[in-house]
Structures are given as structure tokens and as C-alpha cells.
Structure 1
């Protein structure tokens, strides 16, 4: 039996005029149509419950981190400045996709403007790169604090921290900037239906009918250049940190020092492992079900922003103490 084309299989989800327009030729679509999670349309409402829960936790948790660090002068140091940058990045990442995704799940609002789609694409990938850079900055802070503690305050001064933060933001902004401009120039003569919950770069580029090698190769370059260098730097930093920890004279000192790094390691693993898995399945996992692709692409943008404030709130003694103090004052 001949397989029905994808754009016709999903035609029943759209009004006739819209589904008919998706089969005609156009070089610059005014809108794209986000399907949500293909194959799981009947479960969209149920899927929205954990998605919405994760988003609420991420919003409350990251705003709490920002509030506590701003309010407590004792937390005005490099580690907590980088933590605030991470919280802001998490807020932007989760907000870039969740409201749009929930509008698909709850109101069947699938149409997104072409420019809005490219803007969403830019913010998602830009802040993913920024978040990776923040982890490098935090690894540098931990390295100096443990391997050269006497010079920590002299090396990581407020101006130096500000310059590192600016460099991280500029790197993400500049590296990802060509992505939407390249995507805008391709002719889209196949369909404007995106089988995704948001405008992910490869999901959009796959719709173009021209040779999109430039976009694909540039996307691979950004991923491997950023992730490769960042993971390498983090690995080298923590190798030196672990060597310094195991050289400490007592077991209690080793455990206490390792405890200050464990939260950072948990956050790094929660970010890079799902992101790498999503990247590999999106490009090379041709036998993996499409709905699994989409779910994983959402998980790596939703789970870390939810987990980061929880992990730091539980594992960082000063934040935990200030949080408990805050709630105890409210209770009195």
C-alpha cells in the first residue's frame, strides 16, 4: 500500500483552506503550523499537566534564587552571581517554549508567525549556548576556590565576574545570530507544518526545499564547538579539583570540599546529558519515533530549569539557610 504523504496525514488537524495551502508552492511562508507532539494529539491535555508543573516549579524556584541572592549581602560573591545568571537563563529558556506549547495543548493554537518562529528559534539556541558558558564560568569559580583559595577574591573580583558574564552573553548571541538569518533565506516549497511543539532549528530547516547544507553544517559547528570546548574545560577543571580534594589530609575535609562541588556537578549532568541525547536522536536517530524526538527536545529545555534551583537550594548550605530563615519569618 502506498504511504500517505505526511502533509496529507495531518490535514485533518487543520481547516481545509489551511491544509490546502500547505501543499502548494511558496518561497516565504507568512506562518508555520506547530503540530505539538505528533502521534500523541489525544494525550496533549494529559501531557500538559507535568509540563505545566515543571514550568511553575522552574519559575518559582529561579525567582526565589534571584530574590534570596539579591536580599542577602553575604551571598554577593562570584559563585552566586553566576548562579543568578543561570537562573535568568533558565527563566528565558523555559518561557521561550512553554507558553507556546501549552497554547497548542489547551487551545489548539497551532499557527505561529514566520518571524515569531525564527525569533523563538534564536532565543532557545542562544540561551542554550549562554547556559553552557555559565557552567564553564561556575567551573572556573570552583577551580579557583578549591585549588587556589587564598587568591580567590583577588582573581575573581566583581569587574572580572562582570567581564566573564558579558563574554558568555556575547558568545551565545553572536554564535547563534546567523541561524535565523540562514533559515529565513531558504525557500519553503514543501510544507509549512512543523512536527514539533516549538521552532527547533533542524525541524524548521528540514522543511526547506533548497540545499540547506550551510544551515545544517553551521548548526553542527555551533553544537560541537560550544559543547566540545565547554565540556573539555569543565572536565579539565574538575579533574584538577578532584586531585586537590583527594590530596586533603582528612576524610572530613575531603567530604566537605566535595560537597561544595556536588551540586554543580549534578546541574551540569542534568543539562548536558538530555541535551546531547536530544541532539543525537534529532540528527542521527532515524529509527526513533517522532513523538520521542519531540518529548526529549522538550525535556532538555524544561527539566534543567526545574532542577537547578532545587539542587542548589538543597545542596548549597547558605542558600538553604537563607530560605529556611525566610520561611520561618513568614511563619511568625
Structure 2
């Protein structure tokens, strides 16, 4: 089969399209004929050696796939054969991949493989940011940085569904338009003045109850300054570099809370099943949209990485199998 591998860490140019052996479904697993694979910012960090650096090379990238179950391993219900699914699946930048049966989610017929490839990593991240970590409720307010990105757009929709006031930050007017289209009440452009000051203006001086920050160094202080009394800042990435250490003394005045979220943390199985089914139901009923931005063929994985790192994309970046 064909797959994207890298033999050394570095820039996008290290990604190679190669012929590799086909995977075999082990006990409790299925083999998926991949139609589309999601591209995430974490993939670029792995490629650069900043994340999961201990994994031996060469390595096939990828962590989510949408496709059709082609075969099942020992102990797996054969009813899965031929079903359209989406799954958290390592090594998904490939024509075939394997995934545990417990990670499978049936893909609604009305949802394309490209859309499905953007559901789980970013959708689950957004769901847990809003519900598990942020515990956002009706009448509260949230500031979502990078609101036109894959996680950002999901978080905007989920926060709006809760009944919260949604503020977002973006880098361009086109991204602002998209964030508003999917539910953001107000969108702030990074380059047009002080973000925290704008947040206070939009909240009549109160600030927001929750800030979701995947940017890191460049937004950290404005995130803290945007919080209301008893506000909560959740960090889930550091695209612009690691944020500075938290000064505990600076949190006392407004009794602020700072935390972090990572999808790869162990989640109780019941919680994760509930989150997956909630996302699938929202998608099937049309209440949640996966907006694909850049969709390119598998062979163009390096270009997908370049555009993602250059902040030239909106929504989900997807590799399709031609």
C-alpha cells in the first residue's frame, strides 16, 4: 500500500510517499480502507520531533481516519465488514490502517468521508473543552482563540448549542466571516487593537467565564486579562510557543483558574463513548458541521503541512485517497 512516512525529523520536505507493507488487524481490531485522513497541528509537531519524539523512525503519521471496514481481527463482530466508519487510528496517512473496535464510530450516510475525517480528534477535543473542562452553561461567556481553526469552529458551535455567548479571535476578515457563520456572536481580529480590552468592551467590563487557548505565548497574557472573576483559562496547545510560567500571585485578585487539556490523557470509557455518540448525533442531525478547508491528495501531505503551519488554512485539513 501507499503511505506517507518520514525517516528523519525536519520540515515538511521530509514527508515521503512510499510503498509499505499492508497492516493486519489484530485481536479486537479492524482494518479500514482509508478514504480520508485528518491532518492535525500535532502531526507537524511530531514531524519536527517536538512531540512523541521517542517513537522510532521511519514513521507513518496520522491519528484519525474515515473509510470502510475491510477486514476484522479475532474477536471482532463481522457485522462491521463493509460499514462506513470514522476512527481514532494511528498511522492513518495511508491507504489502509487498523483501529480498535472500541474506537469505531459509524459514519452517517449524509456525511462525506472528508467531513468524517475531521470529526474525532478536533471534535472530541472541542467537546471536552466545552463540557468536561470548561463545564460551560447557558448564560455564560467564552473566548475561543483561533476560532476559525478545526477545533475552534467545533468549539464555537458546541458553545453556542449550550446557550453561551461566544467570542472568537482570528487573524483575517475571511476567518472572521466563517466563525460568525457558524455561531460566534463577536469576532476580534488579533491585529486590530488589544484583545483583552475589546473583550471587556463586549462584555460591559465583566470579562468572560472561560477562555480556550491553543496559541500559547502570543495570547497568554490577553487570555488571563480577558477573564471575569472566577474565570477559567484552559490551554490545549502552544502554536506560537510555550506560554510563560503561571505566576500564582497574579491569579488571586480575580480568583482565576488555569488548567490544561490533552485528548491523549486517559478518559473513562463511558465518558469517551458519551462524547463520541453526542458528536455523531449532532452531526447526523445537521446541528454540527465539520468545515473542511484544505483537501488534498495523499501525495500532497507536505503541502498540507506547510499551509497548516503557515496559518493559511481554515477549518479541517484533510488528505484524501485518490
- Classify the TM-score, shorter chain: under 0.3
Name whichever structure is richer in strand by fraction.
Answer: 2
Question: Higher Cα Rg: structure 1 or 2?
Answer: 1
TM-score, normalised via structure 1 length: 0.24
Instruction: Report which structure shows greater RCO (CA 8 Å, sep ≥6).
Output: 1
Q: Which has the higher helix share?
A: 1
In the superposition, the TM-score normalised over structure 2's length comes to: 0.25
